């Protein structure tokens, strides 16, 4: 049941009768995992044509009723990028505010991922997204994207996601995701819009500790993902001891202090 225990630490799942929280918590250090060859070393801030304006399919909802856009490409679509509207560091909600022109998309018929028109991603190549802004919002977008793609992408694309969007872990991490994917078919649909998003105080432009609040049987639970800036992009920092991936999420009675990204 090792694969199931890994999955339980990764996602928030609503069952037919009860809600089970599946989250991923990554901490500490690990060896280097090189970025995908040919990847850009810095996100572009140049305005780019949107690929979501034509041939998009009708919108849908996740299992909690949150709206999801459905781009023509199953791998999702970027939005036109501009620095305009990017959150001012002087704002009191700098670490919780949602990025400008935020949109939630359904990819490969399953997971919900977030894209913005201010903080990335700027590209989706071979099913792998990249080009997130060096901001708290960019770090949170990168975390949400990595988890969504590693479970929704087909084989072998999801393996490229592990190699590119996670820093460290190597073959052991790939094997762990392989077990959890095969152990729970259709798991991508349980990657939903979180109830809250924030970056912990102490944010630096080389390390951002992203926290997501998801529903649980007792209220909510918090998943914590340290993000590091490596080779011009944000990547999830994998622990030296991958066994810590199975550490339970932290229960919380409310989402006070979190930003509600894209929710009414």
To the nearest 10 degrees (0 to 180), the angle between helices 170-183 and 136-152 is: 60
- DSSP, collapsed to helix, strand or coil, labels residue 7 as helix
Per-residue model confidence (pLDDT) at position 263: 77
Per-residue model confidence (pLDDT) at position 216: 74
Per-residue model confidence (pLDDT) at position 183: 82
Per-residue model confidence (pLDDT) at position 26: 33
Angle at 167 between CA 186 and CA 261, to 5 degrees: 60
DSSP per-residue letters across 183-217: HSTTGGGG----SEEEE-SS-BTTEEEEEEEEEET
Q: 129: Cβ–Cβ under 8 A, 6 or more apart, which residues?
A: 76, 78, 113, 120, 121, 123, 145, 149, 165
pLDDT (tens digit per residue) in 178-207: 988 888 778 899 899 999 999 999 999 999
- Alpha-carbon torsion (156, 113, 144, 250), positive or negative: negative
Residue among 191, 12, 169 nearest 104 (CA): 191
Whole-number Å distance between alpha carbons of 30 and 52: 37
Per-residue model confidence (pLDDT) at position 262: 87
Q: Could you state, in chain order, the average pLDDT of each consecutive group of 10 residues for the chain (264 residues)? A: 41 31 34 35 41 74 94 98 96 98 97 98 98 98 97 96 96 91 86 96 97 84 95 96 77 92 82
**DSSP letter at 241?**
S
**DSSP letter at 238?**
-
pTM tops 0.75: yes
b/e map 252-261, b = 16+ CB within 10 Å: beebeebbeb
């Amino acid at each position: 049941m090792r694969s199931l225990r890994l999955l339980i630490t990764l996602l928030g799942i609503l069952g037919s009768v009860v809600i089970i929280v599946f989250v991923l918590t990554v901490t500490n250090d690990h060896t280097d995992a090189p970025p995908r060859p040919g990847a850009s070393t810095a996100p572009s801030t140049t305005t780019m044509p949107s690929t979501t304006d034509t041939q998009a399919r009708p919108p849908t909802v996740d299992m909690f009723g949150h709206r999801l856009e459905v781009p023509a490409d199953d791998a999702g679509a970027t939005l036109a990028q501009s620095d305009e509207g990017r959150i001012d560091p002087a704002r009191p909600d700098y670490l919780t505010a949602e990025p400008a022109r935020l949109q939630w998309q359904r990819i490969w018929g399953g997971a919900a991922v977030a894209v913005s028109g201010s903080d990335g991603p700027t590209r989706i190549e071979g099913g792998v997204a990249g080009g997130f802004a060096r901001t708290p919002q960019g770090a949170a977008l990168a975390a949400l994207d990595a988890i969504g793609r590693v479970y929704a992408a087909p084989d072998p694309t999801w393996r490229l996601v592990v190699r590119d969007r996670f820093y460290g872990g190597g073959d052991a991490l790939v094997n762990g995701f392989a077990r959890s994917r095969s152990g729970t078919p259709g798991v991508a649909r349980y990657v939903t819009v979180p109830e809250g998003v924030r970056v912990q105080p102490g944010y630096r432009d080389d390390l951002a500790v992203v926290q997501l609040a998801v529903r649980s049987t007792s209220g909510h639970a918090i998943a914590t993902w340290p993000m590091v800036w490596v080779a011009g992009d944000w990547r999830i920092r994998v622990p030296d001891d991958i066994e810590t991936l199975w550490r339970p999420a932290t229960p919380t009675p409310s989402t006070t202090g979190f930003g509600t990204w894209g929710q009414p």
